[in-house]
Structure 1
């Protein structure tokens, strides 16, 4: 017979959230010192946007097992959603330090630094996220933005080109390629990329404004 925690996970995966909560509650009655159950229940609560309750469950899991990496990750996502990026970064760093090596952990740590206005601090973590999951266009896109913000335009172009190879209709990748070429004083290439952005998204206002600005400067 499957244990109650496993039944809760399966019910959650199937979208039976009330049933999942029932299984997790019963599992905790059986094993009140099991950090994994608190983490799973916390994930369920976070999913239904009961973020304060979820945080209590993650903190309880950490009290029971200070090496519970996924509890730190869960807490990090709640801080991130609350736009407390400094504390989010701290929690994601803790998750990685405790052994969580999934690309999502590095991506969220990098994004916490990006949202806090520190693209240079974000760089190594977004790089690692892209290395761990080469098909993750969002991680690679954010890596490109981080490189561009650090004025590493050639490296940014390399990453953004990979994004467009993976996702041809990524209008923002084409737009940011155009901006990188503009900063490199290559207006012809910049206009080519910006027009590709418009081909994908005709109402891309930033691309339209950038094209207008480049054309005015070329006159």
Structure 2
């Protein structure tokens, strides 16, 4: 079910209830949650060893801190726009199919070394805190370029974990190494030089077509999470994260407006509906949402205008038009005492009705009967309830009750 279908379903339930109220991802191994689209999978170290096709020179394994990085090789990631320098006696074993990053082969075939990037869910601080609790060190280190990151160092079984993470513009850039202890002791200076020389080119990331696809997917994921929490304060976090990625997305404002309205914060809900309409003035759901909030704020004349605009935009969607008709009619007779106008809207709803599960003809007869009853026309009200009971037996008790009530 897509986001728009979810919202329409939620809105329909809200309207119907009110009207009847008359009674690091899988890729590389960073443990804080990253984009699920990251495709580069963990490769078992034995698999790496068995598939290694290059033999590397081990004579320089004890390189000093003063190693000239100008002689090093360079790996550039086009998808996320970052660059990693690495020693000339290392090689690249493979890169991921979706361009997240690369594996490196060192002099020691038992080492697991990789560089990668993916979208972050902004829970990195929790990851770092949990890492400290586990007994590993977390150190603040800046790159030469000036980006601040966290370096994690600690034992992992019989090896040493060396992991450097930079989170920038909701992208997590990671250099990860799981090394034999002896190799780490001899080459820590080399590793420090690698992370300090990481470069990030944000502009190339933002202009990447793959980046745009990732942003779209990320926004959809955040919206799905938010819509599961409609009406709860927790939903706002996901809406706001989505807006950081896509600040001109009208649907996010619309969905956030609905959540705020269900929470009872109509003033903020109104602002979000207005922003949604500003960004996309041709979407009927946004006008219905704004009309509903204005009704809740007792601004009935303004609400009426936006119901009418929503109906105008619903010419090719009969089911939605029925929702608009019965919603506006409810306001007209309950809050504005415009009974005749409300009756016309109920008639229009009957004319357009597709007999959906939410608004079948019998239900609309009941709404129309309520309107006549509020107007003081008990004969027509009884007639409407009778027609409803003839179409659907669930309204029989209501018809009989009103018949007895009218007889007294």
Give your verdict on TM over 0.5: yes
Moved more, 45-54 or 125-134: 45-54
Structure 1 match to 2:339: 153
What is the alpha-carbon distance in structure 1 between the residues aligned to residue 293 and residue 215 of structure 2? Answer: 26
What is the alpha-carbon distance in structure 1 between the residues aligned to residue 402 and residue 380 of structure 2? Answer: 13
Which residue of 22, 27, 36 corresponds with 1:22?
Answer: 36
What is the alpha-carbon distance in structure 1 between the residues aligned to residue 274 and residue 215 of structure 2? Answer: 20
What is the alpha-carbon distance in structure 1 between the residues aligned to residue 299 and residue 362 of structure 2? Answer: 24
What is the alpha-carbon distance in structure 1 between the residues aligned to residue 227 and residue 263 of structure 2? Answer: 14
Q: Alignment partner of 1:23: what SS?
A: coil
Structure 2 match to 1:214: 406
- CA deviation after TM superposition for structure 1 residue 208, in Å: 4.7
What is the alpha-carbon distance in structure 1 between the residues aligned to residue 376 and residue 240 of structure 2? Answer: 51
Structure 2 match to 1:85: 266
Unmatched segments (≥5 aa) in structure 1: 1-8, 14-18
- CA deviation after TM superposition for structure 1 residue 103, in Å: 0.8
Moved more, 148-157 or 89-98: 89-98
Structure 2 match to 1:196: 387
The TM-score normalised by the length of structure 1 is 0.71
> What do you get for the CA RMSD once the two structures are aligned?
3.6
Which residue of 211, 221, 246 corresponds with 1:41?
Answer: 221
What is the alpha-carbon distance in structure 2 between the residues aligned to residue 206 and residue 124 of structure 1? Answer: 33
Moved more, 83-92 or 110-119: 110-119
For the structure 1 residues 183 and 74, does the alpha-carbon distance in structure 2 shift closer, same or farther, using more than 3 Å as the test? Answer: closer
CA contact (8 A) 1:35 1:61 kept: no
Which residue of 235, 239, 245 corresponds with 1:58?
Answer: 239
- The reply on whether 1:142 has 2:322 as its aligned counterpart is no
- The reply on whether 1:171 has 2:362 as its aligned counterpart is yes
CA deviation string 1:140-164 (max 9, x = no partner):
1101111112111111011111222
Which structure exhibits the higher relative contact order, with contacts defined as CA atoms closer than 8 Å and separated by 6 or more residues?
2
CA contact (8 A) 1:35 1:60 kept: no
Which residue of 103, 119, 137 corresponds with 2:284?
Answer: 103
CA contact (8 A) 1:42 1:53 kept: no
For the structure 1 residues 68 and 113, does the alpha-carbon distance in structure 2 shift closer, same or farther, using more than 3 Å as the test? Answer: same
- CA deviation after TM superposition for structure 1 residue 211, in Å: 3.8
The TM-score normalised by the length of structure 2 is 0.41
For the structure 1 residues 23 and 170, does the alpha-carbon distance in structure 2 shift closer, same or farther, using more than 3 Å as the test? Answer: farther
* Larger radius of gyration between Structure 1 and Structure 2: 2
Structure 1 match to 2:307: 126
Higher strand share: 2
What is the alpha-carbon distance in structure 2 between the residues aligned to residue 64 and residue 173 of structure 1? Answer: 43
What is the alpha-carbon distance in structure 1 between the residues aligned to residue 309 and residue 403 of structure 2? Answer: 33
CA contact (8 A) 2:333 2:374 kept: no
What is the alpha-carbon distance in structure 1 between the residues aligned to residue 273 and residue 398 of structure 2? Answer: 32
Count residues in correspondence: 200
- CA deviation after TM superposition for structure 1 residue 71, in Å: 2.5
- The reply on whether 1:75 has 2:256 as its aligned counterpart is yes
For the structure 1 residues 196 and 100, does the alpha-carbon distance in structure 2 shift closer, same or farther, using more than 3 Å as the test? Answer: same
CA contact (8 A) 1:106 1:126 kept: yes
